[in-house]
Amino acid sequence: MNNWWYSLYFLILGIIAFFTGELITFIMLGFILLSLHNINNTLKKIHKDNQQRKSTLEE
């Protein structure tokens, strides 16, 4: 999913949160989702680096 879809998703959730009165929940959910996204990107980078190291060692 690219950043455009994330923005649309957060906009829709923000509108729903505003009308239901759950703004704090929306903000906390945003922090959690950003943290999980950063963790996922870091793990992907580590995995890619390990694969590159492994392929250079096998040569």
Q: Cβ distance 30 to 10 under 8 Å?
A: yes
In a domain, 5, yes or no: no
59 located within any domain: yes
**Domain count across the chain:** 1
**CA–CA distance, 41 with 1 (Å, rounded to integer):** 13
Question: Looking at the domain assignment, is residue 9 inside a domain?
Answer: no
pLDDT in tens, 2-43: 677 777 877 888 888 888 888 888 888 888 888 888 899 999
CB-based burial, 33-47: b 16+ in 10 Å, e otherwise? eeeeeeeeeeeeeee
Residue 18, in any domain of the structure: no
Instruction: Report the greatest alpha carbon distance in the chain.
Output: 59
Task: Look at residues 52, 13, 46, 7 and name the one whose alpha carbon lies nearest to residue 29.
Answer: 13
Residue of higher predicted confidence among 48 and 23: 48
0.85 exceeded by pTM:
no
User: Whole domain around residue 45: which residue ranges?
Assistant: 23-59
Q: What is the mean pLDDT of residues 37-57?
A: 92
